[in-house]
A and B are shown apart, each in its own frame.
Chain A
């Protein structure tokens, strides 16, 4: 009765490339969609880029995004600590955002 989404999705415990539910064409389609997102691989033609390369670039891209978010949160924590007492500036920011 309580079939969770995670249990209905994960048919295999490890991240094996071939799963019983999906066809290879769909997997290739997903890989190409992923490739379009990654800035380093966007210009290259999909014929030349292997799945392993796409996965590798995806991993490094996610890591770099994580690092960027960490740097930004460093910056924001300093900035917000300074301007926390300044309610006027916060009002300006709110008006600009909405």
Chain B
């Protein structure tokens, strides 16, 4: 049963203000991005990003991190399959940080979708891939001769940066810069929060000392 007037279903904003930022269906983010792109893509992207320097953001992160870490460290699985505690903590800290980004950045989505760290044997299997890449670059240097052995400096460093920021290997250069900016702010907040947590946990010397003595 088709509706008698299907055309009226389209919202009024699309006909009157094509460049408005407030769309009724804000879930369709690609449409929102396309319309804002005509105005100023860089600034619009920054408006969506989290303020990593705010005190509340850091407190929320610390609370979430502590809760997650206590859950993680309470489990005692077989030591052969799980990585070291330090790596578990690092993994949990990164995931909580990525969750704080609320899916707005490429690096946060990449962290949340990457699998948990596993046995060392699996890591060795992945090492075969870089060898294949080395052969290709060797052939390239032979073809080009002596002139263009290396890429321009900016491209080289951009590639290194894309490897450092998670999930940004195939991202365009301007987006890579944006991701790096947000990632650095997030990492700084992570360092501040974890430092504060470590200070709290080690600052109370007498209670923690008593707890350690009671355990041993």
Q: Which residues of A come within 8 Å of B, CB atoms?
A: 3, 5-6, 8-19, 21-22, 26-27, 29-31, 33-34, 37-38, 51-52, 55-56, 58-59, 61-63, 65-66, 68-70, 72-86, 88-90, 92-94, 96-98
Task: Decide if A21 touches B174 in the complex (CB within 8 Å).
Answer: yes
Given known pairs A30-B177, A37-B181, the reply for A21 and B42 (CB within 8 Å) is no
Task: Give the dominant DSSP class at A's interface.
Answer: helix
Given known pairs A34-B181, A37-B181, the reply for A10 and B170 (CB within 8 Å) is yes
Q: Which residues of B come within 8 Å of A, CB atoms?
A: 29-30, 33, 37, 41-42, 59, 62-63, 66, 69-70, 73-74, 84-90, 93-94, 106, 152-155, 157-162, 164-165, 170-178, 180-181, 183-185, 187-188, 190-191, 194-195, 197-198, 200-202, 204, 207-208, 211-212, 215
Which A-chain residue is minimally distant from B178 (CB atoms)?
A30
Task: Decide if B89 touches A76 in the complex (CB within 8 Å).
Answer: yes
Given known pairs A37-B185, A73-B90, A97-B63, the reply for A19 and B172 (CB within 8 Å) is yes
Shortest CB-to-CB span from B82 to chain A, Å, is 12
Q: Tell me the bound Cα distance from A92 to B198 in angstroms.
A: 14
Contacts of B90 in A (CB 8 A): 69-70, 73
Contacts of A11 in B (CB 8 A): 172
Task: Decide if A56 touches B157 in the complex (CB within 8 Å).
Answer: yes
Given known pairs A10-B172, A69-B187, the reply for A30 and B42 (CB within 8 Å) is yes
Contacts of B42 in A (CB 8 A): 26, 29-30
Task: Decide if A69 touches B194 in the complex (CB within 8 Å).
Answer: yes
Q: Tell me the bound Cα distance from A94 to B164 in angstroms.
A: 33
